[in-house]
Amino acid sequence: MKKKIAILGSTGSIGKTLIRILKKDKNNNEVVLLTVNKNYKELIKQVKFFKVKNIIISDKKSFLITKKKLKNYKINIYNDYKSLDKIFNKKIDYLMSSITGVNGLEPTLKCIKFTRLIAIANKESIICGWNLISQQLKKFQTKFIPIDSEHFSIWSLLHNSEVSNLEKIFITASGGPFNSLPFDKFKNIKKKDALKHPNWKMGSKITIDSATLMNKVFEVIEAKKIFEINYSDIVILVHPKSYIHAIVKFNNGLTKILVHDTNMKIPIFNSLHNEGNKSIITNKLNINILNNLKLAHVDLKKFPVINILKNLPTKNSLFETIIVSVNDSLVKLFLNEKISFLELSKYIIKFINLNEFKKFKLYKPKNINEITKLYDYVSSKVISYVYNKS
């Protein structure tokens, strides 16, 4: 029987990687839904290849163009996620949620009840709305697999092990393009320098997050929520080659290390075939890297945003939404060359330490609307401040 699959965000980097995997095993998979925001050209190619019957296009203009271009095809084309009940008459086997940003939270929540397994590659959904997601997962008995290479690695290492047996989790960071750059050179960093990640090919936003190491702040928050552990039990280690993705130390004396190539195809493939009944061709074990791991603690002078982790609330709160919004807004300003690289980290710390925002550590997210309203308010405040200052 064919595995029924849906992809939220099918034209992003994660979505396209999954599409390439599915193309190699087309006869055993049926793609029942694809969704995009604007990239209708890529979507149409995917639709025709897999003969997809249902698509959602969030952007109104792109939606209208697609309807016109596919008018002779028997395809259900929707502009929002209100028609999911029409699309799914029973649970599908696998759903990938890879819509970027806070906008990915609502579709993720809406789709959980329609799938037996959901793979989530959207950091913001987990960081801002994990308590809402976990409620839905339990309610509809939907299995969850995280797709970030670090969290997928932790999930794999914990397979059949109780979280209570954990002693420490070590998440690795490449250090981005500036790991070996002397701090006195940071004042000269340009946008083009920050966009040159040494190991991964990613979108511009996540690449900048990697350059500041803000992505590791987010990954620690995710790990704390997903695996229900304390922040004090998670350690970041700089590993320039990005070959080791996670190390888990157990209280029985065992320590497990997971390595794989710097290729998101591997966690995506294994989430799709989590039963372990499929194989994938990968590179041979790289002994040279294993003999020269160069693991090190983070240089807090170069990457001060890591200090954010010292004062985070222990329970799910709206403060995490503030952190995401502040960072998103400032990364946009940096990419638009309105602030410098040093100012980027400086402003992140400045804004999340405002008394106005600290109070949100006490409030647990109640619904999506509360999260999105706060996100928009914070974003507006950050952008207004920077523009007025300049």
Per-residue pLDDT, 160 = 72
Last residue of a domain, one of 131, 147, 163: 147
In tens, the pLDDT along 15-61 reads 999 999 999 998 999 999 999 999 999 999 999 999 999 999 999 99
Query: Do 306 and 162 share a structural domain?
Result: yes
Per-residue pLDDT, 390 = 60
How many structural domains comprise the chain? 3
Angle between helices 319-335 and 123-139 (to 10 degrees): 150
Q: Containing domain of residue 386, as a range?
A: 313-390
pLDDT, mean of residues 343-360 = 96
Query: Do 332 and 297 share a structural domain?
Result: no
Query: Do 162 and 38 share a structural domain?
Result: no
- The residue behind tokens 């109780």 is 162
Distance CA 217, CA 127 (A): 10
Query: Do 244 and 382 share a structural domain?
Result: no
Query: Do 329 and 231 share a structural domain?
Result: no
For the chain, report the end-to-end CA distance as a whole number of angstroms.
Answer: 61
Question: What single letter denotes the amino acid at residue 250?
Answer: F
Query: Do 338 and 328 share a structural domain?
Result: yes
In tens, the pLDDT along 109-158 reads 999 999 999 999 999 999 999 999 999 999 999 999 999 999 999 999 99
Task: Provide the CATH number for the domain around residue 95.
Answer: 3.40.50.720
Last residue of a domain, one of 91, 119, 147: 147
Task: Please say if the pLDDT value at position 203 is more than 90.
Answer: no
Q: Could you give the percent of the chain with pLDDT greater than 90?
A: 90
Per-residue pLDDT, 364 = 96
Q: How does residue 200 score in pLDDT terms, banded at 50, 70 and 90?
A: confident
Query: Do 21 and 126 share a structural domain?
Result: yes
Chain Cα centroid distance, residue 266 = 15
Task: Please say if the pLDDT value at position 201 is more than 80.
Answer: no
Query: Do 129 and 155 share a structural domain?
Result: no
Across the chain, the runs of DSSP E, i.e. the strands, are 3-8, 29-36, 54-57, 76-78, 94-97, 117-120, 143-146, 166-173, 234-238, 244-250, 255-259, 296-297
Question: What single letter denotes the amino acid at residue 177?
Answer: P
- 8 Å CB contact between 283 and 260: no
In the structure encoding, which two tokens stand for residue 196, read together? 């040159």
Distance CA 122, CA 100 (A): 6
Per-residue pLDDT, 276 = 79
Query: Do 212 and 111 share a structural domain?
Result: no
In tens, the pLDDT along 151-188 reads 999 999 997 778 888 999 999 999 999 999 999 999 99
Minimal CA–CA distance to 129: which of 339, 338, 374? Answer: 374
Residue 255, strand partner residues: 249
Helix, strand counts (H, E) of the chain: 16, 12
Query: Do 179 and 118 share a structural domain?
Result: no
Query: Do 234 and 143 share a structural domain?
Result: no
Task: Provide the CATH number for the domain around residue 355.
Answer: 1.10.1740
Query: Do 154 and 128 share a structural domain?
Result: no
Last residue of a domain, one of 100, 123, 147: 147
Q: Which residues contact 109 (CB under 8 A, 6 or more apart)?
A: 129, 132, 133, 136, 368
Compute CA distances 170 → 153, 187, 235, 264, 350, whole Å. 11, 30, 5, 19, 27
